[in-house]
């Protein structure tokens, strides 16, 4: 098994916690909680291959050092069933277990990037090391948490691993929708970094698509983490689709403007009545028509196409990137 964790016993829980274990064991999860967890997992799967490949050369050095420290030290105490043989009072990670530790560190750090405001590789390595030692589960050895942390710190000091730049990882993602979705999940991104990613992504999309992405930014709480100018831009783009605006424009019969209006009306009439996107698309296309952002019939088609493409990409699950493994 790649990791081991000590589960809390009944004696470790207070009265309220023990009651909740019983009363909530069959309770269904809130849909919002399910969606939030799914989003975290999807972004983690997408980032893991790249983070692993980026960190592996440095992690290999750290793992070699921490394994050496663990191997030479005799700072474990045996459990009730342990023997007194000196060799069994030490820890040594096999090559297979060392490889697992590297993957565990990368996985823990990806999770920290999504869930924490200030993730550090050192803390990810410490946590992964703690749960990657198999001796407690397999040999009954009780591992001293304090001394394990001391060994980690010594190896980390010698390894001198640099920090991982989250924004640089996202720079390799070519799809603006995926890049924005991933950036929105990374709690450690600074406000200016996240704002730059969102602004660049929106600017790279045509009308329709940029409006759909702006709605995703607002719906998923990302706007509150942006600088004011970018947040206002997203709000204005989203409002074009969210707010109904009528038109009182007079157009001359058989003019190009009149033909464009007839084509627009016919396309809107084909939208399914029960679709949640129908009122949004109607509002958006009306706003673009009034603001003279639609000149010819093909402009209408491009808005439809771009909107639907981005809305679909905002809903689809993020897939892990295919990267060359060095393991």
Task: Give 157-204 pLDDT, tens digit per residue.
Answer: 888 777 777 777 787 788 999 999 989 988 878 899 999 999 999 999
Residues 6+ apart with CB under 8 A from 264: 285, 289, 294, 300
Q: What is the pLDDT of residue 85?
A: 46
Share of the chain above pLDDT 70, in %: 83
Question: What ranges in 187-227 are assigned the alpha helix state H?
Answer: 191-203, 209-219
Confidence class for position 119, pLDDT limits 50, 70, 90:
confident
> Between 116 and 314, whose confidence is greater?
314
Per-domain residue ranges of the chain: 10-164, 169-327
Residue 23's pLDDT band (cuts 50, 70, 90): confident
- pLDDT value at residue 302: 96
323, pLDDT greater than 50:
no
- Pick from 63-77, 221-235, 240-254, 273-287: least confident: 63-77
Q: Which of 131, 111, 109 minimizes the C-alpha distance to 120?
A: 109
164-177, pLDDT tens digit by residue? Answer: 777 777 877 889 99
Predicted TM-score (pTM) of the model is 0.65
Average pLDDT, the chain: 83
What pLDDT is stored for residue 203 in this prediction?
95
| Token pair belonging to 137 | 């589960």
pLDDT at 16 exceeding the cut of 50: yes
Pure H helices in the chain: 15-23, 31-72, 95-115, 121-130, 135-139, 145-159, 166-171, 176-185, 191-203, 209-219, 228-242, 256-269, 277-290, 297-315
- Residue predicted with more confidence, 298 or 325: 298
- Checking if the pLDDT of 1 tops 80, the result is no
Q: In the prediction, which pLDDT does 224 show? A: 94
How far apart, in whole angstroms, are the C-alpha atoms of residue 254 and residue 162?
A: 67
- Burial class of 193 by CB neighbour count within 10 A (0 to 12, 13 to 18, 19+): middle
């Amino acid at each position: 098994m790649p990791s081991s964790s000590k589960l809390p016993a009944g004696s470790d829980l207070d009265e309220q916690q023990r009651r909740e274990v019983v009363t909530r064991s069959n309770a269904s999860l809130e849909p919002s909680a399910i969606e939030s967890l799914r989003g975290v997992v999807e972004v983690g799967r997408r980032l893991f291959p790249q983070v692993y490949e980026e960190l592996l050369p440095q992690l290999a050095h750290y793992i070699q050092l921490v394994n050496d420290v663990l191997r030479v030290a005799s700072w474990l105490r045996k459990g009730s069933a342990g023997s007194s043989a000196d060799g069994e009072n030490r820890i040594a990670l096999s090559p297979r277990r060392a490889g697992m530790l590297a993957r565990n560190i990368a996985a823990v750090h990806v999770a920290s990037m999504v869930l924490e405001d200030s993730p550090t590789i050192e803390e990810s390595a410490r946590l992964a090391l703690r749960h990657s030692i198999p001796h407690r589960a397999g040999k009954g050895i009780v591992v001293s948490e304090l001394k394990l942390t001391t060994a980690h710190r010594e190896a980390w000091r010698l390894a001198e691993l640099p920090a991982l730049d989250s924004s640089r990882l996202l720079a390799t993602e070519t799809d603006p929708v995926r890049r924005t979705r991933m950036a929105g999940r990374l709690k450690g991104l600074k406000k200016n970094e996240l704002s730059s990613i969102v602004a660049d992504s929106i600017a790279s999309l045509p009308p329709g698509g940029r409006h759909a992405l702006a709605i995703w930014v607002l719906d998923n709480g990302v706007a509150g983490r942006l600088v004011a100018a970018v947040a206002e831009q997203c709000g204005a783009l989203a409002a074009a689709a969210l707010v109904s605006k009528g038109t009182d424009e007079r157009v001359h019969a058989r003019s190009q403007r009149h033909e464009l209006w007839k084509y627009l009306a016919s396309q809107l009439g084909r939208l399914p009545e029960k679709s949640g996107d129908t009122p949004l698309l109607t509002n958006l296309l009306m706003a673009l028509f009034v603001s003279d952002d639609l000149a010819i019939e093909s402009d209408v088609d491009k808005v439809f196409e771009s909107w639907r493409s981005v809305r679909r990409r905002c809903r689809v699950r993020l897939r892990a990137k295919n990267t060359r493994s060095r393991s």
